[in-house]
Structure 1
Amino acid sequence: MPREFVIKVPASSANIGPGFDVLGIGLNLYLEISVNIDPALAETSKQDPTNCILSYEGEGADEVPLNSEHNLITRTALYVLRCNGVRVFPEGTQVHVNNPIPLGRGLGSSGAAVVAGVMLGDKIGGFGFSKQRMLDYCLMIERHPDNITAAMMGGFVGSYLRELSALETERKEIPLSEVLPEPAGGVDTGLVPPEPPVDIGRHIKYDWCKDIHCIAIIPNFEVSTAESRGVLPSAFTAKDMIFNLQRLAVLTTALTRSPPDPELIYAAMQDKVHQPYRKTLIPGLPEILASVTPQTHKGLLGICLSGAGPTILALATENFDAIASEIIKRFAKENVTCQWKLLDPAYEGAIVTEK
């Protein structure tokens, strides 16, 4: 009998002002994976080395690989399967990806793909892992718990990586090439990848004031995470770290209060750890962050880079079009065009539904 199910994973915004590598929000813009496993399609699926026929639409359709050993979603699923004694997808597996999340723009596109892949592997293998256990597999591949946790768990979250003991692993960082070995020309090496320790990441889900909405202003160019991390200093001053920690302590509660306090939130979303150093990668960034305020735009609560950028995240209660238009206009001065989306937190996070 054919079997069908759908996996939906939200986009995410990370860092959120002073919360560098700590805070994340799952957003209701969903990567959707439609899976059909039909034995009648077995011969067709054998065209792929692991029995998975991929199709793709949406953002990145011209650049995303459709070979299951190269595509991040299916490669991640194979990692989960092979950790648990399953080498390939069932014969007759078809996976269709519909992705509205822009690639390389600071909205967690790779994190969503990793979460989708882990959930795909769990569902196909019938392992029945909890979300917390699936998070371990995700964090073996993408070591940014702010994005990953927001996408998997949903809502407004704070997270960190637990310091692992020597018994669990000798290294805190395990290269992607080891977790997900490069395909060997379609030949299965039989190697079993390293299984994740338990509870690599810890998190807490904060409340969120339902009056607060998220405006994502998305410029038409990409900034890679590696590039954006490359401009950061190797060490920070105590003064700058204290500046961020003070505001972080206030912000996580300020965003839960109704009605929200614009002056408090705007000040608490200031940052001295990553945004000042990324201005060289994002034209007009300092001017945008400094000039769009609750005083200049009614309804605005706070503004920051989304993840590594270049997307700008503005939190607001009203006047969304005017706020977005002002930021787009300021980007236009730098000859950068943008689109914008009005989003809300995705409270449930990633979900799987049977068809």
Structure 2
Amino acid sequence: MRVFIAAPASIANLGPGFDILALALQLQNDVRAQTRQDGTVTIDPGEGAPPSLRDSGRNLVTRSYELACDAIGVTDRGVDFTCVSRIPIARGLGSSAAATLSGVLAAVALHRAPWDEQAVIDCAAELEGHRDNVAAALLGGLAVCAPGIEAVRMDVDDDLRAVMFIPAQRLSTHEARTVVPTQFSREDAIFNAARCALLVRAFAQRDYATLAEAMDDRWHQPQRAALMPAIPRLIAAARAAGALGAALAGAGPSIVALSVRDHDSVTAALRREAESLQLSGDVMVVAPRNYGARVDLKP
């Protein structure tokens, strides 16, 4: 039996939505899982993957598959995984969520587990740790979630584009999270709550007049700028070039600028600013994705 899974990239936070908002993108990783009879779990992580990802004990696809099999109660779990990875790793684009979700979905499909979407999110988030990215990758569109509540989603304007500057240098989410405070002032909590509500309204009504202000944040971006000093200048350059709003992509180091018409000018501005900062990287323009991961099971 075989299953083919396509899981999309996603951008979490979008400014004030720290750990609760994420946007799915039209950029995906593909995973094929083929059952085998000897009980062994193997993985081919694809061309260009780091050698460590060939270790099934370290790869998130195989680890999440094993975790889901444990939860389902499956003992006969032999499978060969083959991956095609297009989502840049450790850049704030949800690569780990896509990998983890793929492993869970493979287990659910191959072993016919009667799991609903929330059960899939819960299992993947247990290993991956970022419920927002997992929810967006599974559900598509703009996902809203938090522990203890059911994840919900909404469609996003098809004309919207995410213009992303993706630095060559990686940054792990763990490292980026170490600088984020665990407590915030009442003033900062009100600031972020108001902008998070404004951000959801902007997406729901497709009214982008307030998007620049709605993507402002006091909880994590100022602190992470200490690790990535280019953040404020890249965001400012994108806004000056016509971006509707701009923010750190997830935990970084990538920057995302949202645009409807000015993709080319925002792209050029980000490239110029990166060059002036002597920051190597590339710019990618990607549409939002209003559908989540796809699963195709074949006998």
Alpha-carbon displacement from aligned partner over 1:79-121 (angstroms, at most 9, x marks no partner):
111223223423xx32111111111100011111110111111
Of 192, 198, 216, which aligns to 1:244?
A: 192
Q: CA deviation at 1:324?
A: 1.7
Q: CA deviation at 1:310?
A: 0.6
Q: CA deviation at 1:78?
A: 1.1
Of 164, 171, 174, which aligns to 1:223?
A: 171
Give distance in 1, aligned partners of 2:157 and 2:95.
25
* 2:122 corresponds to 1:136: yes
Give distance in 1, aligned partners of 2:155 and 2:288.
11
Counterpart position of 2:228: 282
Give distance in 2, aligned partners of 1:344 and 1:207.
12
5+ long unaligned stretches in structure 1: 163-200
Letter in 1 for 2:174: A
* 2:70 corresponds to 1:82: yes
Secondary structure of the 1:22 match is strand
Of 274, 277, 284, which aligns to 1:341?
A: 284
Letter in 2 for 1:297: A
- What is the number of residues matched between the two proteins? 298
**Which one has a larger percent helix, Structure 1 or Structure 2?**
2
TM-score, length-scaled by structure 1 = 0.79
Letter in 2 for 1:32: D
* 2:192 corresponds to 1:204: no
Give distance in 1, aligned partners of 2:126 and 2:100.
10
Deviates more, 1:19-28 or 1:130-139: 130-139
Asked if the contact 1:78/1:88 (under 8 Å) is kept, the reply is no
Of 325, 332, 336, which aligns to 2:268?
A: 325
Give distance in 2, aligned partners of 1:37 and 1:16.
39
Give distance in 2, aligned partners of 1:37 and 1:87.
13
Counterpart position of 1:184: none
Give distance in 1, aligned partners of 2:146 and 2:280.
35
Alpha-carbon displacement from aligned partner over 1:235-282 (angstroms, at most 9, x marks no partner):
212111111111111110112334x43x41111111111111111211
Deviates more, 1:208-217 or 1:305-314: 208-217
Q: CA deviation at 1:290?
A: 2.9
5+ long unaligned stretches in structure 2: none
Asked if the contact 2:270/2:283 (under 8 Å) is kept, the reply is no
* Percent identical: 30
**Stretches of 4+ moved more than 6 A in 1?**
none
* 2:21 corresponds to 1:32: no
Alpha-carbon displacement from aligned partner over 1:180-203 (angstroms, at most 9, x marks no partner):
xxxxxxxxxxxxxxxxxxxxx522
Give distance in 2, aligned partners of 1:277 and 1:125.
44
Alpha-carbon displacement from aligned partner over 1:210-252 (angstroms, at most 9, x marks no partner):
2211112111011111111111223212111111111111110
Q: CA deviation at 1:58?
A: 4.5
Of 40, 48, 56, which aligns to 2:45?
A: 56
Secondary structure of the 1:5 match is strand
Sort the Cα spacing of 1:6 and 1:214 in 2 relative to 1 into closer, same or farther, 3 A.
same
Counterpart position of 2:241: 297
Secondary structure of the 1:255 match is helix
* 2:203 corresponds to 1:255: yes
Q: CA deviation at 1:22?
A: 1.2
